[in-house]
Structure 1
């Protein structure tokens, strides 16, 4: 992970009136990204932490699983490439690290769950669903 930054875990579409996240909506196949700008960007912003880098780049297990589980639920609106580009654009647009710093929340310091939620809401206009791990 780039120093002091966040990585993407997934982009989970939902549908108004249906509780929870949509999953496995179609049997759309995942197409392996070939070396190039998109693969480089994914490797930097959507890091496959559970896998050796070489395996992640070659087999793309996290990206494949996230796309099959969630990306297929927005296939009528975004194809595979658009789904991944959207996730990376949202990460850049909301720039959580800068947002948190602006609110006095920095790595290595303790803050309440609510303070972190409120800081993120200032840029997303939504209450974030945070989980402590």
Structure 2
């Protein structure tokens, strides 16, 4: 009995630590523009399923905290299994493709997203539900259409960052976090749009103050074609 009691006492701090590290307050649904992935010095490779459509594609569904921190790689014993998402594959190939080289069947990309981010939400989602939740959220918002409605087109022209943020705020109803990268010539361009989602992974919400501001962007950003 003393041995069992000692084990229980020693185990409590460890369990508490894991819960603290892997807790979270909301999700980012991260949508990336493929043209801005592919025109960098690193370039891109289309997946085996073919060239994706010219639309904002899912990068990931990432648990985050209100203070700006985020958990990652929360459960190494709960690794990705493609058999769990067999009914979602065609949808994921269209909406969540890998553009990394070399060309692939996307599984390594999806495995990375689940292992790093999805396992931190496994108290809410199993693997199948995690990927399905991201797909369902993407179906609710068309960032390209929202931008196009405000005259912001992927035509290699530059637009003010404030006009992009305002267009999404108006057309989507909530603010977003814009992320930029550089093309092969060094021009700053629109890369990703991060939308905030409640902890259930089902509804969009206003982003917390800690997420205000857009990363790696300048006041004018290019919107490349694809």
TM class, shorter-length: 0.7 to 0.9
2:95 to 37, 45, 48: 45
1:7 to 46, 57, 65: 57
Aligned to 2:37: none
Aligned to 1:87: 134
Distance in 2 (alpha carbons) for counterparts of 1:33 and 1:101 = 38
1:115 to 140, 163, 167: 163
Give the structure with higher Rg (CA).
Answer: 2
Distance in 1 (alpha carbons) for counterparts of 2:89 and 2:160 = 36
Q: With the length of structure 1 as denominator, give the TM-score of the two structures.
A: 0.83
SS in structure 1 at match of 2:113: helix
Aligned to 1:98: 145
1:31 has 2:114 as partner: no
> Alignment RMSD, CA only?
2.1
**Which structure: greater strand fraction?**
2
**Which structure: greater helix fraction?**
1
Aligned to 2:105: 56
Change over 3 Å in CA distance of 1:73–1:8 after alignment to 2? same
Distance in 1 (alpha carbons) for counterparts of 2:87 and 2:66 = 34
- Provide the aligned length of Structure 1 versus Structure 2: 128
Change over 3 Å in CA distance of 1:117–1:21 after alignment to 2? farther
1:76 to 123, 127, 141: 123
